[in-house]
A and B are shown apart, each in its own frame.
Chain A
């Protein structure tokens, strides 16, 4: 009797606290969304009103047609190109390396891998300034390569994929090798298909990480037309915000949020899985 009473009380207390937190968490995105459809005079009204007096597309039309001070269409396409290329390159380089460290026998293999891993654990803040010099020497400043390539060096993804490859039975490679398959054939035809889910997870994380990266793009991209959409947000406060053009500001921010949020809706299962992978809860 007492148990059921406390069950009901804790249930409703949990519902109330969860709902309040959820409302606070939803408010910014919902308010930004509705504001992006408000007219300028609607925006300037004081008093809280969530929904627009009338829904208009003007803000989107304005920000999408801006091709000089804040060329958001261009930024969006830059980001799509950069994040996609980065992700594809990453999957190829990381899966190759993970195969080498997990499935091939060579001297000092594990020593080498764990040395590389340990070095990469040193806080990345130290690398930023010299990396700029390298990218500058390579002639990549203000080109997509400056933001596509350096991130490929990260070791965390190699570690994750290697973990999974190590878990696969050795007999797979051995029987294929007996049949005369080369290492590359084993990699491509046997191992990669088996670890596809992990590769999807690392791809999703690389894409969102690349899309949302802020500090590095603002250092190596300083030509307005070359910016990513995430770095471009830095300029919008001066272009729209200072003139209280909240509708256009929110329309821009909303466009920047769409791809990663959509990706989540389509691949929620993989997102949740990947978080479990990182802590090694299920490995």
Chain B
């Protein structure tokens, strides 16, 4: 009797100790998570329903910010959101497909048994991804400098690249691709290296062409890495900020002024902060990202079946 009591006590004590121990381990991260992710997210939703200048306490205005942004064509916020979102979508449409297709093509070429120096090629394509976008932008601005840059001097052209469309977008796209194909390339290569040679050899015996093998064997075998890279590249592209800021400052005539630039200026710009409006715009941008990611999952899943 006495013995079982003490055992029970021991078990209880052990359980109690476990509870403390668990918080020693997950506690520090959990606090950071609450302070810098959960609370800001909730506060961001709240702020989007307020008028707020970041310093004094926010004033509740209900749906007013959303009504202005989405439904008041006379408001500059409406025009900024619309223009910013369209420009962001142009960036997404201009970069994401190539962020998948170019590394996929390179990965297939690097898979060729006759190619030597694969590691060197991979390193050349990968290293630009480790360079900050701001340093890269400074370099690309020289490359496309109308008078001193190698591009115009090599081609003998006189295009003033970053101040004219469509050239401004072309420079931004190229510089983005330069810094973003390496990661996807490595993922595709390692996925392809996992495909059994037997599959290709069996297809060869059936007389399948390279195109057939690519669509019937390679693509289905790497569909999950492919889906992962498409979703991640798209979400990343929606957050575009540094490239247009550094290369074109949003010009010419605000045609490359992306939504993050407007959000940043509204919340943290020189004049009076309109953080409530900026918060509403960032919620809307967040929703667009989620909807598109869900859409991509659905399509890919259906096709994969």
Interface residues of A (CB under 8 A from B): 3, 7-8, 10-11, 14-15, 17-18, 21-22, 25-29, 31-32, 35, 43-44, 46-48, 50, 92-94, 96-97, 99-101, 104-106, 109, 112, 116, 119-120, 122-134, 136, 149-150, 152-153, 155, 158, 183-184, 187, 208, 211-212, 214-215, 219, 230-231, 233-234, 236-237, 241, 244, 246, 249-250, 252-253, 256-257, 260-261, 263-264, 268, 271-272, 275-276, 278-279, 281-282
Contacts and interface: CB of A to CB of B under 8 A. Distances in A.
B133 interface: yes
B40 interface: yes
Interface residues of B, number: 94
Interface of B: 18-19, 21-22, 24-26, 28-30, 32-33, 35-41, 43-45, 47, 54, 102, 105-106, 109-110, 112-115, 121, 123-128, 130-143, 145, 147-148, 150, 153-154, 178, 183, 186-187, 190-191, 194, 204, 210, 224-225, 228-229, 235, 238-239, 241-242, 245-246, 260, 263-264, 267-268, 275, 278-279, 282-283, 285-286, 289-290
B293 to A, nearest CB: 9
Contacts of A94: 29
A128 B282 contact: yes
Given A28-B143, A28-B178, A100 B126 contact: no
Nearest to B32: A153
Contact of B153 (A48, A97, A100): A48
Interface of chain A: mostly helix, strand, loop or mixed: helix
A123 B290 contact: yes
Contacts of A237: 138, 141, 246
B221 to A, nearest CB: 12
Nearest to B130: A260
B186 A106 contact: no
Contact of B106 (A18, A231, A268): A18
A54 B112 CA distance: 42
B106 A97 contact: no
B124 A22 contact: yes
A266 to B, nearest CB: 12
